[in-house]
Amino acid sequence: ERETRYLGLHGMLTQAMHGGKAEEALELAKQASEISPKTEAVSETLFDLQVKTGDWNDADETVRRAVRAKHLDADEGKHRRAVIAYQQSAEAESEGRLDAAVDQLKRAVNLAPAFVPAVVRYAERLADAGKRRRAVSVIEEAWVRNPHPHLAQAMERLASGGPEDRLHAIERLVGYNRDHEESHIALARAALNAGRWNEAREHLDTVAGTHATSRVCRLMAELEEGERNDTDSSRGWLKRAAMAEPDAAWVCDSCGNVVGQWEPVCGRCQRFDTFAWKTPPRVTHMAEGAAEAHRATTIDGEADRK
């Protein structure tokens, strides 16, 4: 009888989902989960529906149960719960519940200390509350685990004063992961902005020799222009940027959607927590390369006319 009831619910659940009746499907999925709580497919369907209907508290509990039932790896479960907390924070902030928003961000960072979007937002909210030292500490702790350009940018925003102060802030940050590629790039950017040409060149040369991405090539072009006013060399680096590996971005592991800002749910495939920071697909590389090539060609043409 239990199995018959489950099969009946499963059939109605499938019909409700195909008919786009999310609320009805969610109720049926809850009933199916109560009858067969250890069925992985039921757990995943219930979670997907809870995400679609914004039922975040129940979604969090579903993840907990999935981890206990060994349907989810413990670390993946923590990351899902961190994303849920991030989303709850965003909703609390939109409703004016600022203390609750900060509490949820803190929970997200505790669950996943290397979860960059949560770390950056949490640090910003701490700084807004006058807790700058704690904000800096949160970013530094994340940098040890996951050096990321958005963390470096957040640290620069936290620095008081001008370019030299921002450079000193980055120097302190990268001390926690000094040999990482992102540490060299962050120092190069900050040194460029402060007019410290030798320092910028030292760090860019370190990276350009082994991994001259589009971003590194553009920074080299900026350095040649700023330090030496060498437009020929600068154009050469821009041309290299057009053919180089494209900049990393948030890429959906499910459908390949590429976005500049991280999102909890992919706008294309509607999957939850699928964005990873990595090099976009080759087609994006070609599109960006064409744009850079056009820009370099335009500069060449203008120079020739002069």
Q: What are the structure tokens assigned to 41, written together? A: 């497919």
273 φψ region: left (φ > 0), alpha (ψ -120 to 50), beta (else): left
- Where does the pLDDT of residue 14 fall: very low under 50, low under 70, confident under 90, or very high at 90 and above? low
State mean pLDDT over 248-253: 96
Backbone angles phi, psi at 157, to 5 degrees: -65, -30
State mean pLDDT over 216-235: 97
User: Is the confidence at residue 294, as pLDDT, over 90?
Assistant: no
Q: What share of the chain in percent tops pLDDT 90?
A: 70
User: Is the confidence at residue 304, as pLDDT, over 80?
Assistant: no
Q: What are the structure tokens assigned to 234, written together? A: 């600068």
State mean pLDDT over 83-106: 97
CB 184 within 8 A of CB 203: yes
Beta bridge partner(s), residue 252: 275
What is the 8-class DSSP label of residue 274?
-
Q: Give the per-residue pLDDT at 169.
A: 97
pLDDT digits (tens, 9 = 90+) for 31-78: 666 666 667 777 888 888 888 888 999 999 999 999 998 989 999 999
User: Is the confidence at residue 285, as pLDDT, over 60?
Assistant: no
- Where does the pLDDT of residue 171 fall: very low under 50, low under 70, confident under 90, or very high at 90 and above? very high
- Range from 149-153, 195-199, 212-216, 299-303 carrying the lowest mean pLDDT: 299-303
User: Is the confidence at residue 200, as pLDDT, over 80?
Assistant: yes
Helix (H, G, I), strand (E, B), or coil: what is residue 250?
Answer: strand
Long-range interactions of 63-71: CB distance < 8 A, separation 24+: 65/37, 66/40, 69/37, 69/38, 69/40, 69/43, 71/40, 71/43, 71/44
Q: Give the per-residue pLDDT at 99.
A: 95
With CA atoms as reference, report the closest residue to 207 among 179, 246, 242, 226: 179
- Where does the pLDDT of residue 11 fall: very low under 50, low under 70, confident under 90, or very high at 90 and above? low
Give dist(CA 172, CA 105) in Å, integer: 24
